[in-house]
Amino acid sequence: MNKVKFRNMIALFLIVFTVPDLIIHILFFSIRADVLETFPMVGEAISEGFNVVFALAIIIAICNGFEKDKPIYHLITGGVLFYISLLHDFLDEFFVLTVPSIAFEVFAFPLALIFATIGIYKSQQYERSLYLDNERLKLQYKEMSITDNLTCLYNTRYFYDTVPTEIETMLHENRPLSLLILDIDDFKLVNDTYGHLEGDRLIEYIGKQIKTEFSSYQCYRYGGEEFIVVLEDVDLDRVYEMADSFRMKFASDIFYIDGESYQKTISVGLAELTDQDDTKTLLEKADKAMYVAKTTGKNKVCY
């Protein structure tokens, strides 16, 4: 049993203890024993004992309740004060206690209510905080599972999870959809010349540019130096213009490493969805178009 469960059990026990004690006081008449005639120091001893217990309860509340701001300590302190108050009241039926000791009973009960109320309120806040943290973690883990770490674009897994349904919807509603495959020309040369870290930097850069340029559409890193953009409700001519504009912007970028500079280009394959297509055939058409761009001079958009 861990500490949290143990403390929760203690708090629950101390609070639940008050219920039968209240029932006893309601159902039965007070019983007083004249014990002081035989043991005159009993009342004083009980009074001093309660003083010590009450002081310890306050110390616990200050040290662990407010300073550490843990709801469980407020609940325990409230339960302890309830226990002190009601047990004191119960023993008072048997022993004649002094006025200072009785005063603790008077103060302990409202203090118990205060600490218990604070504890319950903070417990609810704490649970709410845990719930929100848990939901945030779920979103983070989900985002991590569907995105590429290097580019922060969606990954291949998410592509195959979402695009088939998207295609079915667009076909059913007779709406246009196009798919772009963008591939960095001669990417291997970057790795061979400048190293894989520079290659990663280039991929990260183009990923950010794709995300910015096509911010209204779903963008994916399909693998290696290949990227996919799925564009809904855009006619083919407009898609071609957007792709060619991005191609030209990227070709004009200059990259620097170790005092040297270099430029890169991309080849783009474009395919438009027809009623004969599914995810596989649409990808094949875009991939063939990209292959044509590669084999006919690179740095161009083909469809």
| pLDDT(97) > 50 | yes
Cα separation, 179 vs 164, in Å, equals 12
| pLDDT(2) > 80 | no
List all residues 6 or more positions away from 220 whose beta carbon is below 8 Å from its beta carbon.
Answer: 148, 153, 154, 155, 156, 158, 159, 227, 228, 229, 230
Pick the CATH number of 156-302 from 3.40.50.150, 2.60.40.10, 3.20.20.10, 3.30.70.270: 3.30.70.270
Q: Give the pLDDT mean for 224-252.
A: 95
| pLDDT(6) > 70 | no
Using 50, 70 and 90 to split pLDDT, how confident is the model at 173?
A: very high
At 257 the three-state DSSP class reads strand
Confirm if 30 and 89 have CB atoms less than 8 A apart. no
| pLDDT(227) > 60 | yes
Cα separation, 204 vs 221, in Å, equals 10
pTM of the full predicted structure? Answer: 0.61
Distances (CA, A) of 100 to 35, 57, 107, 240: 19, 17, 11, 90
| pLDDT(47) > 60 | no
Residues assigned a catalytic role: 225
In the chain, where the domains are located? 3-141, 156-302
Q: Give the pLDDT mean for 75-89.
A: 69
Using 50, 70 and 90 to split pLDDT, how confident is the model at 34?
A: very low
| pLDDT(126) > 60 | yes
Q: What is the pLDDT of residue 222?
A: 92
| pLDDT(103) > 80 | no
Model pLDDT for residues 55-64, shown as the tens digit of each residue? 555 555 555 5
Using 50, 70 and 90 to split pLDDT, how confident is the model at 45?
A: low
